[in-house]
């Protein structure tokens, strides 16, 4: 038997030796995971003995991390917007820069409410929101938490990803307000003509079915973090990403930005007048994507940089 401090030190040394990025954090997270404890506990109890079984489990995870498996696949979780999400190899691991999508979406909705002369407290009452390419469900669920009155329609082309998203909606008690739909971009939403009212959709995942909607302009907000890496960039990706995250979640095409044209055209057809589009961008997507919004359909186009100064979020309003 050895203690917490010694075990952590050993694991950390193995990860450092293998040049694993953020090796200290990774070793800590794996030990916390094995012991079922939080960070404060391990630093408050450095001399606590660890059983041989727990030590063996910890070093097995250290070996897998050394071989390139992401820490989040080993612990099965990742935090996003202050919420803990289940992640598996079927979904993209939520990234901190995607939190800018939530920030921009909430800011834009607040401004829209003010302009409409409505109260500043944004509950999202009556709002219809689309999250296209939901993956783990992180964008849809963060928005559902922030906007308790909103209904959210989250699509993904991957049924395996939607199964994870569904579990995350349950985990965060928002499954009654998030409808999951397996489809290509917004293809699952049919224009039934202006005479009908209201969106109608059965709860939970709808495999290959279509959501019936009342007209072309149904959503108040469409947010998306689509796959945007170029296949030609694959060799430059970290092995944790290239070898372990889903291909369908990573690559948008040879260049990376190929999905945006269809996504923007479909969003134009499904947003209400004054509806908001918020898109996450790849590190070099802006020059290819921004001109797609340079049409009479869109106004108030703005770019938000991430903390690294990379143009990360493109937002616009439908005229
Ligand atoms: C970059 S991941 C984003 C996942 C999640 N929204 C996030 O921000 O972490 C892109 C997601 O889009 C899905 N996807 C890829 N192509 C799609 C398509 N044509 N239609 C709908 N979803 C698609 C992938 O399966 C993946 O879950």
**Residue 251: CB partners within 8 Å, gap ≥ 6?**
227, 229, 230, 231, 234
Tell the residue nearest (CA) to atom 4 of ligand 1.
135
Distances (CA, A) of 74 to 31, 59, 89: 11, 12, 10
Ligand 1 proximity of 226 Cβ (cutoff 6 Å): yes
Tell the residue nearest (CA) to atom 13 of ligand 1.
133
Ligand 1 proximity of 138 Cβ (cutoff 6 Å): yes
Distance CA 221, CA 282 (A): 21
- Through-space distance between the first and last CA atoms of the chain, rounded to whole angstroms: 67
Q: How far is the CA of 124 from the centre of ligand 1 (A)?
A: 24
Q: How far is the CA of 173 from the centre of ligand 1 (A)?
A: 22
The pTM of the full predicted model, rounded to 2 decimals, is 0.93
Per-residue pLDDT of the chain (319 residues; tens, 9 = 90+): 799 999 999 999 999 999 999 999 999 999 999 999 998 998 899 999 999 999 999 999 999 999 999 999 999 999 999 999 999 999 999 999 999 999 999 999 999 989 988 876 789 999 999 999 999 999 999 999 999 999 999 999 999 999 999 999 999 999 999 999 999 999 988 654 443 333 434 334 554 444 554 444 489 999 999 999 999 999 999 999 999 999 999 999 999 999 999 999 999 999 999 999 999 999 999 999 999 999 999 999 999 999 999 999 999 999 9
Ligand 1 proximity of 154 Cβ (cutoff 6 Å): no
> Rg of the chain's alpha carbons, rounded to an integer?
21
Ligand 1 proximity of 98 Cβ (cutoff 6 Å): yes
Q: How far is the CA of 290 from the centre of ligand 1 (A)?
A: 20
């Amino acid at each position: 038997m050895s203690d917490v401090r010694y075990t952590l030190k050993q694991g950390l040394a193995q990860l450092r030796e293998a040049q694993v990025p953020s090796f200290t954090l990774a070793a800590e997270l794996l030990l916390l995971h094995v012991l079922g404890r939080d960070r404060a506990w391990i630093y408050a109890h450095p001399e606590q003995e660890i059983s041989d079984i727990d030590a063996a489990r910890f070093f097995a995870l250290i070996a897998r991390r050394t071989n390139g498996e992401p820490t989040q696949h080993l612990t099965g979780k990742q935090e996003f917007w202050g919420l803990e999400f289940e992640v598996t190899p079927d979904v993209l691991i939520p990234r901190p820069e995607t939190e800018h999508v939530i920030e921009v979406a909430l800011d834009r909705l607040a401004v829209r409410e003010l302009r409409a002369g409505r109260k500043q407290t944004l509950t999202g009452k009556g709002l219809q929101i689309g999250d296209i390419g939901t993956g783990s469900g992180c964008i849809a669920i963060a928005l559902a938490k922030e906007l308790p009155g909103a209904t959210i329609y989250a699509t993904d082309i991957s049924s395996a990803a939607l199964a994870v998203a569904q579990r995350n909606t349950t985990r965060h008690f928002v499954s009654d307000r998030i409808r999951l739909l397996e489809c290509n971009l917004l293809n699952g939403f049919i224009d039934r003509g202006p005479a009908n009212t209201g969106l109608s959709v059965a709860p939970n995942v709808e495999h290959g079915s279509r959501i019936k909607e009342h007209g072309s302009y149904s959503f108040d907000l469409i947010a998306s973090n689509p796959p945007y890496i170029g296949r030609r960039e694959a060799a430059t990706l970290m092995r944790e990403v290239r070898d372990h995250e889903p291909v369908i979640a990573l690559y948008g095409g040879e260049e990376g930005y190929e999905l945006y044209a269809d996504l923007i055209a479909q969003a134009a057809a499904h947003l209400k007048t004054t509806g908001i589009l918020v898109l996450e961008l790849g590190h070099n997507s802006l020059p290819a994507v921004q001109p797609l919004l340079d049409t009479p359909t869109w106004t108030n186009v703005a770019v938000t940089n991430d903390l690294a100064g990379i143009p990360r979020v493109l937002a616009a309003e439908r005229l």
